Amino acid sequence: MSAVGGGGLGGVGAGAFLAELEEQPAPQQTTRRRGRPRIWRVVILTAAVIFFLGPLVASAKYSLIQQNGKYGFSNYSQILSNGDLRRSLFTSLEIAGLTAFIVVSLMLPTVVLVRLRMPKLTLLLEGVTILPIVVPPIVIASGLAQLQGSAPSWMISLWFNHPLTALTPIYVVLAMPFSYRAIDTGVRAIDLRTLVDASRSLGASWFSTMIRVILPNVETAVLGAAFLTIALCLGEVVIATIMLYITLPVELIQVGASNPGVSVGLSLISILFVFLLLFLLSFLAGRRRGSTSVRVI
């Protein structure tokens, strides 16, 4: 009886408690109203748009002005018909592609090796790769120009005979600060040791592990390093000018002296090409963040 009575009293107490909860008003959830944006945000956004898009719009308008003063596309048609511009463009693209390939081929294994086997050398490697930023390009170009002037004939024919062989090693050194940090950030974001141990325990060689396991998981970082290298090669002018090599930026300066509209038009195309590369990188990075699984080829 006592057990039954206790259960009944307990049931009555629980019912009364639930009734009190139902009578109490539910707590109001504080919702953040979306009002009008603050004026300072609008001012900053407007200033940023004008700062970035203003020069591009002005350059596009100026590139459409023909020599007779009217608007047209004759400057862009001259870009296609000018043989010197085409040769300098192809030379710069060859240098940029080869430089990006060498930079990725050197930096990715180096970062992986240091992270796995020699972590104490991380600070040393970061200091070495920052040196191209510390040393001004004009100093590097002056030293290379003196070496070029006093070099033996075999070195001139082997190294300084063509801009592809002469400028590519220099641009590899100049791209080290950007490429190393981009690839190092991507390698830090993955569980490198687990991936390597799993791949090696399954019998894969180091080359296969690098190409089929590590590279697919850091492809965004590798593409970022490659795109930064390409942008650097397409915009570097100091070293190429002092060493008397005709690349795209050098040719743009020479063409701009006689026909500035053509030079501005080609410069605008180069900027849009770099923006397209960066947009592609952002798209791939967003797709990579949406997939959390480990990728193995």
Instruction: Specify whether the CB–CB gap between 243 and 138 falls below 8 A.
Output: no
Q: What is the mean pLDDT of residues 54-61?
A: 86
**Residue 116: both structure tokens together:** 């796995």
Helix (H, G, I), strand (E, B) or coil at 291: coil
What CATH architecture is 74-290? Orthogonal Bundle (1.10)
For position 149, what pLDDT does the model report? 82
Confidence of residue 4 (pLDDT cuts 50, 70, 90): very low
Question: What is this structure's pTM?
Answer: 0.73
* Of 146-150, 160-164, 186-190, 272-276, minimum mean pLDDT range: 272-276
Q: What local confidence, expressed as pLDDT, does residue 25 receive? A: 56
Q: Quick one: tokens of 152?
A: 């033996």
What pLDDT does residue 5 have?
46
pLDDT at 184 over 60: yes
Average pLDDT, the chain: 81
Mean pLDDT score, 72-83: 80
Question: For the segment 203-248, what is each residue's pLDDT rounded down to a tens digit?
Answer: 888 889 998 899 888 888 898 898 889 888 888 888 998 888 888 8
pLDDT at 105: 93
Of 173-177, 179-183, 210-214, 274-278, the poorest mean pLDDT is in 274-278
- Split at pLDDT 50, 70, 90, the class of 6 is very low
Residues 175-191, mean pLDDT to the nearest whole number: 90
3-state secondary structure the chain: CHHHHHHHHHHHHHHHHHHHHHHCCCCCCCCCCCCCCCHHHHHHHHHHHHHHHHHHHHHHHHHCECCCCCECCHHHHHHHHCHHHHHHHHHHHHHHHHHHHHHHHHHHHHHHHHHHCCHHHHHHHHHHHCHHHHCCHHHHHHHHHHHHHHCCHHHHHHHHCCHHHHHHHHHHHHHHHHHHHHHHHHHHCCCHHHHHHHHHHCCCCHHHHHHHHHHHHCHHHHHHHHHHHHHHHHHCCHHHHHCCCCCHHHHHHHHHHHCHHHHHHHHHHHHHHHHHHHHHHHHHHHHHHHCCCCCCC
Q: Which pLDDT score, from 0 to 100, does residue 249 have?
A: 87
Given a cut of 60, whether residue 52 has pLDDT beyond it is yes
> How far is residue 158's CA from residue 118's CA, in Å, rounded to a whole number?
35
CB count within 10 Å of CB 207 equals 9
Q: Which uninterrupted H or E stretch holds 151?
A: none
Whole-number Å distance between alpha carbons of 229 and 178: 8
**Residue that has been written with the tokens 């240091």 in this structure:** 114
Where is pLDDT greater, at 6 or 16?
Answer: 16
* pLDDT of the residue at 173: 92
- Is 70 exceeded by the pLDDT of residue 32? no
pLDDT at 94: 92
Q: 95 vs 256, which has greater pLDDT?
A: 95
- Ranking 31-35, 110-114, 154-158, 187-191 by mean pLDDT, the lowest is 31-35
- What would the mean pLDDT of 139-150 be, rounded to a whole number? 86
